[in-house]
Homo-oligomer: A and B are copies of this chain.
């Protein structure tokens, strides 16, 4: 691998001049620049990230810390990750995915070894020990998701509240008056204080009440088989519901197939909205589901921008923002039957 010194020698300039050309950090005459660029091309020179980092005290690497306890990464997570990586690249940084357990020292270790300029923390929970660690450190960070009290923290998050209000509005507009929210109520998530779940529940209840609509609430585990059970539970306990908002990816297919097994047609007998999910899940059933899609791409970009803004020291010291889910119409929603509701 050729070094800057090699380039300088070949172009017959000083090593500093080469640096000026590469980084456009000082004016260089056209002729000199040409010689340097020719030399670089001839040698196939690429600047060494290590030397640069050591000298400039910035590695330009940011890490996306992801909890290793996670069992799978869904389409939106992958989408998020890919988008974040692209945004980082566009802003002159590299983004790496760094798996961490929830043990306290893991974050410390990454911070101390000096390889990382800043971190993005995903899957943030309402009470998140990792956030406290970051807060207590000098490491710049941004959160994807929110803690219980995010007032002083930089974050971007899904706007579950307004997205859900939109969904309710959409269904009420179609004429539905009794609507069920089916979410993922596993004990694990509830105990962990999983923000999206908690906030969706509260918003749904409040918004339905505000509109004078009847809210039904159901939970099931995140598996198809649980979804089947939820379908039966719905038919047994809330037969007058004409629409369901489902916020449980893994249960979707079982739920829909459970309904179908009991002769319930979608959307003729029941409208189904898939909430905070992804197109591949929406397309996994017949008919395809009307979807409020997680804004993975937008979230990834915004998160990276927020972090790099901090690193470059430009803009506000701290940015917060939420992004709504996007509406993608499917064939699973319609006006309720005349006799229903």
Which residues of A does B touch, CB under 8 Å? Answer: 1, 46-51, 53-54, 59, 61, 63, 68, 70-75, 77-78, 81-82, 85, 94, 96-99, 109, 112-115, 223-225, 250, 253-254, 257, 261, 280, 283-286
Contact A285:B115 (CB < 8 A) given known A59-B50, A82-B68, A96-B96: no
Q: Give which listed residue, B61, B78, B112, contacts A72 with CB less than 8 A.
A: B78
Q: Give which listed residue, B49, B97, B286, contacts A225 with CB less than 8 A.
A: B286
Q: Give which listed residue, B54, B72, B113, contacts A46 with CB less than 8 A.
A: B113
In the docked arrangement, what's the CA distance between A253 and B82, Å? Answer: 28
Q: Give which listed residue, B96, B261, B280, contacts A71 with CB less than 8 A.
A: B280
Interface SS of chain A: helix, strand, loop or mixed?
mixed
Closest residue of B by beta carbon distance from A250:
B284
What are the residues of chain B within 8 A of A72 when measuring CB–CB?
72-75, 78, 280
How many copies altogether?
2
What are the residues of chain B within 8 A of A112 when measuring CB–CB?
1, 46
In the docked arrangement, what's the CA distance between A266 and B163, Å? Answer: 41
By the criterion CB–CB under 8 Å, are B1 and A225 in contact?
A: no
What are the residues of chain B within 8 A of A96 when measuring CB–CB?
63, 96-98
Closest residue of B by beta carbon distance from A82:
B68
Closest residue of B by beta carbon distance from A288:
B225
Cβ of A58 to closest chain B Cβ, rounded Å: 10
In the docked arrangement, what's the CA distance between A113 and B115, Å? Answer: 14
By the criterion CB–CB under 8 Å, are A70 and B78 in contact?
A: yes
Contact A114:B48 (CB < 8 A) given known A223-B283, A284-B224: yes
- Most chain B CB inside 10 Å of its own CB: which residue of A49, A75, A77, A81: A49
**23 contacts across the A-B interface (CB closer than 8 A):** A1-B114, A46-B109, A46-B112, A46-B114, A47-B113, A48-B114, A49-B113, A49-B115, A51-B54, A61-B115, A63-B96, A68-B82, A71-B280, A72-B74, A72-B75, A73-B77, A81-B99, A94-B115, A96-B97, A96-B98, A224-B253, A224-B257, A224-B284
By the criterion CB–CB under 8 Å, are B225 and A284 in contact?
A: yes
What are the residues of chain B within 8 A of A114 when measuring CB–CB?
1, 46, 48-50
Cβ of A40 to closest chain B Cβ, rounded Å: 12
By the criterion CB–CB under 8 Å, are A284 and B49 in contact?
A: no
What are the residues of chain B within 8 A of A280 when measuring CB–CB?
71-72, 223
In the docked arrangement, what's the CA distance between A254 and B224, Å? Answer: 10
Cβ of A147 to closest chain B Cβ, rounded Å: 24
